[in-house]
């Protein structure tokens, strides 16, 4: 009997935590629910729901509203409706990207209350200086939003490299100098002592797509980062696939005929677009420079071409830009075909490339996949533009924050 009592005593706190987690999860969308709504959402009994809500109210994590919208006021005790106190705490999201820093402050409902973005002064800037810039930006965002650092419960950080469990990234010195030598879990110290969850940008991008993007409710999804380098966030069988930390790295593409490297859509569009614009100016392509939409968009300066200009010019029928898109999507379709053959996902999401380019890229990729006569997955363009990894960093920070508050 004593053993049974000890087992019950040990189990009760665990059950309370599970119940509290279920209630918080039901309210995190911002909805306000009464006991019946929470019972339906969580599967818990009415006494358990009310006991958990009373506990969370005392702790300050919930709010209570005594009226039910849309119903006339009646005599007697009004229905109790509960909501998440979203401003009871905050989390920070950081994307320590290869070309720029992005940072945002979010409340507990996932609503962004302040943002920051800046390009690195040099693409080969060392990791220690990148972290100094990130800490300075963090101080600025907190100051602008009026949030005291003590209200921040956790932070998440995306890096463009695999991350080992010991907090060290696997990154070439020539690509991200000094990154591999640092324990990135300590990146915000000594300024801030928050828990910091660090992960690969592609992993965080697929987390974001399943949370608030185009892959919600899907258990077999691959997010293909298509900005400067190809990388994959893999979510198969309802869980994130990490391997030893390097799952989703695309170095194997060096062995794939017609691909040969990990160059991605954004970088290739920019580089090939600049070459095409220069060829038009030099008369090495048919047509007049005055009629080139690509040249018009770049102001006649080929070095100023970016991926968005190439997409827009192709959208308007520019022959040179359309040829660039054709080359880029042919290579990318081969990479997609390999990934789809290996993993058989329900959906492959293009993320991190040229913003708003889905209407141009997806039809071309579908056509190229048909020509390859290979695995042809459903494709979608991310609606999170270049913020997918950043929002994924927010999501893992929120998960950590909720675990902390329930403890």
> In the prediction, which pLDDT does 109 show?
92
In angstroms, the CA 235 to CA 353 distance is 20
Shortest CA distance to 202 belongs to which of 165, 161, 170, 244?
Answer: 161
- Do you find a cis peptide bond into 190, omega within 30 degrees of 0? yes
Confidence of residue 71 (pLDDT cuts 50, 70, 90): very low
Q: Flag the least confident range among 46-50, 165-169, 206-210, 352-356.
A: 352-356
Tell me if 89-212+388-406 shares its fold with 221-383.
Answer: yes
Shortest CA distance to 335 belongs to which of 243, 246, 261, 236?
Answer: 261
For 366, counting Cβ atoms within 10 Å of its Cβ (0-12 exposed, 13-18 middle, 19+ buried), the class is middle
Q: What is the pLDDT of residues 21-32, one digit of tens each?
A: 889 888 987 889
Confidence of residue 66 (pLDDT cuts 50, 70, 90): low
Write out the CATH class of domain 89-212+388-406: alpha beta
Q: What is the pLDDT of residues 346-394, one digit of tens each?
A: 999 999 888 789 999 999 999 999 999 888 899 999 999 889 999 999 9
For 103, counting Cβ atoms within 10 Å of its Cβ (0-12 exposed, 13-18 middle, 19+ buried), the class is buried
Domain ranges in the chain? Answer: 2-84, 89-212+388-406, 221-383
Containing 169, the helix (H) or strand (E) segment is: none
Q: Quick one: three-class SS letters along 42-105?
A: HCCCHHHHHHHHHHHHHHCCEEEECCCCCCCCCCCCCCCEEEECHHHCEEEEEEECCCEEEEEE
Record: fold of 2-84: Arc Repressor Mutant, subunit A (1.10.10)
> In the prediction, which pLDDT does 261 show?
92
pTM, two decimals, is 0.88
Q: Examine the pLDDT at 108 and tell me if it is beyond 50.
A: yes
How large is the average pLDDT for residues 312-331?
Answer: 97
In angstroms, the CA 253 to CA 258 distance is 9
Record: fold of 221-383: Nucleotidyltransferase; domain 5 (3.30.420)
Containing 221, the helix (H) or strand (E) segment is: strand 221-226
């Amino acid at each position: 009997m004593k053993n049974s009592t000890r087992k019950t005593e040990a189990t009760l706190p665990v059950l309370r935590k599970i119940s509290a987690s279920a209630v918080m999860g039901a309210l995190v969308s911002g909805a306000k629910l009464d006991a019946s709504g929470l019972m339906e959402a969580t599967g818990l009994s009415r006494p358990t729901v009310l006991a958990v809500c009373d506990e969370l109210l005392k702790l300050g994590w919930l709010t209570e509203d005594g009226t039910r919208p849309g119903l006339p006021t009646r005599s007697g005790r009004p229905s109790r409706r509960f909501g998440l106190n979203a401003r009871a705490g905050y989390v920070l999201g950081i994307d320590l990207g290869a070309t720029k820093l992005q940072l945002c402050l979010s409340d507990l409902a996932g609503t962004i209350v302040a943002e920051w973005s800046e390009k690195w002064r040099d693409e080969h800037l060392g990791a220690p200086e990148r972290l100094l810039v990130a800490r300075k930006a963090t101080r600025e965002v907190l100051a602008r939003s009026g949030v005291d650092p003590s209200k921040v419960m956790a932070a998440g950080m995306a890096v463009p490299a695999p991350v080992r469990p010991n907090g060290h990234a696997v990154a070439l010195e020539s690509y991200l100098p000094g990154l591999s030598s640092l324990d990135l879990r300590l990146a915000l110290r000594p300024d801030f002592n928050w828990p910091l969850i660090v992960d690969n940008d592609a992993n965080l991008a697929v987390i974001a797509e399943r949370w608030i993007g185009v892959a919600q409710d899907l258990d077999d999804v691959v997010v293909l980062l298509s900005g400067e380098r190809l990388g994959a966030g893999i979510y198969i069988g309802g869980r994130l696939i990490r391997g030893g930390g390097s799952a989703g790295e695309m170095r194997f593409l060096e062995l794939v005929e017609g691909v040969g490297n990990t160059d991605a859509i954004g970088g290739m569009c920019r580089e090939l677009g600049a070459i095409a614009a220069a060829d038009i100016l030099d008369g090495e392509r048919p047509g007049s420079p005055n009629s080139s939409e690509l040249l018009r968009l770049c102001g006649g300066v080929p070095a100023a071409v970016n991926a968005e200009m190439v997409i827009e010019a192709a959208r308007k029928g520019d022959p040179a830009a359309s040829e660039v898109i054709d080359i880029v999507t042919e290579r990318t379709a081969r990479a997609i075909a390999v990934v789809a053959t290996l993993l058989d996902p329900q959906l492959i999401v293009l993320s991190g490339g040229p913003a708003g380019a889905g209407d141009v890229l997806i039809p071309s990729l579908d056509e190229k996949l048909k020509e390859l006569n290979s695995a042809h997955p459903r494709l979608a363009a991310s609606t999170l533009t270049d913020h997918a990894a950043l929002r994924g960093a927010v999501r893992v920070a929120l998960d950590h924050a909720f675990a902390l508050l329930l403890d």
